């Protein structure tokens, strides 16, 4: 992996700057951060704040998706194997440079060496990283390079001890949890560190609940409308449907996921969707110690408890802030980050800027700073055949206005 550049990379010019035009009544936001045009259209130098309140923290030569900030402020990112054989899967940012984490060996798997390297003990295709309150880094390995075939014995959830920087636990997922066609996406860890909740954004959307002590996992709501793409929604970009050369549109199922600060409510939605859903977490747990699946945990029973929270439109990343209690939402269609007050009120724009090409995943720093990646999915070879295999991307930060 190449080190971070000292200056931001110039992105393709846009004909007009997208500005926010929302009313700000009752949301608690003091106002949106608007992108301001500049004479040079140049991005700010990495690590410095631009005139619109954004800070570009890092620039990468490869496609990034996940980011997480540990309690001590350390920043971790991941690079999935989508359109290239990414040289590093999980990295810690040190002195502005991504360094393989926890070590080079865990990051040594390659597509060309698939039959030579054990997928059980190496990262195959990592989609997200999340640090918990127990000082562990959890790594979600979908093990489906190019979002295609799942590598046998590859899907897993890996815990890395942030004190020792060594793998503390690996929870493998068999075909009942991660079948062919699955693509494990994002994860949230309960405040007590005992349960993990994941989304599957693959061919059949689902939620996955993991008892972290025993390692047992259950696939729930598979194919249920709340976890599947919404057929009435078309994901667009620049006002046009975003499609692959063969005509296929964006079909990502359950993707964004968020957990309330008390761990009692789980939220999720599909990218090809508009509706934010929720469930009480006590409806999803309690089965690990039982030999029989409780009737209350059947998909039919769970579906009756799902709440439609509101409409976000197509969205990727979700996060509930520990500092202001709002839910932050990435909005890839219009280069923006939005927020909603979960106590009520409409979705509001926090920042909109043409440089934010497919805002992807959130994390929150100890001081309340919001970090998020831009994965440039619409610029990738999936949708632009002439795009480079190695897609440059960024990590940004934003300090929300005081409420």
pLDDT for 175-203, tens place per residue?
A: 999 999 999 999 999 999 999 999 999 99
Is residue 11 scored above 80 in pLDDT? no
In this prediction, residue 298 has a pLDDT band, given cuts at 50, 70 and 90, of: confident
Q: What pLDDT, on the 0 to 100 scale, is given for residue 296?
A: 62
Q: Is the pLDDT of residue 242 over 80?
A: yes
C-beta of residue 155 within 8 angstroms of C-beta of residue 173: yes
pLDDT at 46: 43
pLDDT at 286: 76
The answer to whether 271 touches 314, Cβ cutoff 8 Å, is: yes
Written as six digits, the tokens of 245 are: 């050369």
Read off the pLDDT of residues 381-399 as tens digits, 9 standing for 90 and up.
999 999 999 999 999 999 8
Q: Give pLDDT tens digits for 111-131.
A: 999 999 999 999 999 999 999
Rounded CA-CA distance 296/225 in Å is: 19
pTM as predicted: 0.86
Nearest-CA neighbor of 399 among 42, 41, 57?
57
How far is the C-alpha of 112 from the C-alpha of 82, rounded, in Å? 14
Q: Which residue has the tokens 């359950």?
A: 254
Is the pLDDT score of 84 beyond 80?
A: yes
Average pLDDT in the 236-248 region? 94
Residue 111 contacts residue 125 (beta carbons within 8 Å): no
The first and second tokens of residue 156, run together, are 């897993």
Rounded to whole angstroms, the Cα distance separating 181 from 362 reads 25
Which one, of 228, 300, 301, 221, lies nearest residue 269 by Cα? 228
- Neighbouring-strand partners of residue 394: 59, 374
CATH homologous superfamily of 59-398 equals: TolB, C-terminal domain (2.120.10.30)
Strands, sheet with 327-331, edge to edge from the N-terminal-most edge strand: 33-34, 348-352, 336-340, 327-331, 318-320
pLDDT of residue 210 exceeding 60: yes
- What Cα–Cα distance (Å) separates residue 315 from each residue in 6, 235, 318? 31, 9, 8
Tokens of 99: 């360094």
Please state, as a whole number, how many other Cβ atoms lie within 10 Å of the Cβ of residue 274.
Answer: 15
CA angle 388, 392, 396 (to 5 degrees): 160
Mean pLDDT of the chain: 87
Provide, rounded to the nearest whole percent, the portion of the chain with pLDDT above 90: 79
Q: Residue 204: pLDDT above 70?
A: yes
């Amino acid at each position: 992996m190449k080190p971070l550049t000292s200056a931001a990379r110039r992105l393709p010019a846009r004909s007009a700057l997208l500005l926010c035009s929302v009313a700000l009544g009752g949301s608690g936001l003091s106002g949106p951060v608007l992108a301001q045009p500049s004479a040079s259209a140049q991005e700010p130098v990495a690590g410095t704040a631009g005139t619109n309140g954004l800070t570009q923290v890092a620039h990468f030569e490869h496609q990034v998706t996940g980011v997480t900030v540990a309690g001590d402020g350390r920043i971790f990112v991941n690079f999935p194997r989508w359109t290239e054989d990414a040289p590093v899967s999980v990295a810690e940012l040190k002195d502005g440079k991504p360094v393989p984490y926890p070590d080079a060996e865990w990051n040594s798997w390659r597509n060309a060496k698939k039959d030579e390297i054990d997928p059980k003990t190496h990262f195959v295709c990592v989609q997200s990283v999340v640090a918990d309150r127990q000082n562990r880094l959890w790594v979600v390995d979908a093990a489906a390079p190019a979002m295609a075939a799942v590598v046998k014995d590859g899907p897993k959830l890996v815990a890395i001890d942030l004190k020792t920087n060594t793998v503390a636990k690996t929870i493998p997922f068999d075909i009942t949890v991660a079948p062919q066609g699955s693509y494990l996406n994002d994860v949230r860890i309960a405040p007590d560190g005992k349960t993990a909740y994941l989304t599957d954004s693959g061919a059949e959307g689902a939620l996955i609940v993991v008892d972290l002590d025993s390692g047992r996992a259950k696939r729930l709501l598979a194919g249920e409308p709340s976890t599947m793409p919404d057929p009435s929604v078309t994901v667009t970009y620049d006002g046009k449907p975003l499609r692959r050369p063969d005509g296929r549109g964006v079909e990502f199922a359950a993707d964004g996921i968020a957990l309330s600060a008390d761990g009692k409510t789980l939220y999720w939605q599909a990218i090809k969707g508009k509706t934010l859903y929720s469930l009480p977490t006590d409806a999803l747990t309690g089965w690990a110690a039982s030999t029989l699946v409780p009737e209350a945990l059947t998909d039919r029973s769970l579906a009756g408890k799902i709440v439609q929270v509101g409409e976000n439109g197509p969205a990727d990343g979700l996060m509930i802030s520990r500092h202001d209690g709002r839910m932050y939402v990435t909005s890839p269609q219009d280069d923006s980050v939005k927020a909603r007050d979960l106590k009520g009120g409409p979705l509001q724009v926090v920042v909109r800027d043409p440089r934010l090409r497919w805002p992807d995943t959130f994390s929150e720093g100890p001081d309340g700073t919001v970090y998020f990646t831009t994965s440039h999915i619409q610029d990738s070879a999936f949708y632009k055949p002439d795009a480079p295999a190695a897609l440059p991307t960024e990590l940004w930060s934003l300090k929300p206005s005081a409420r």
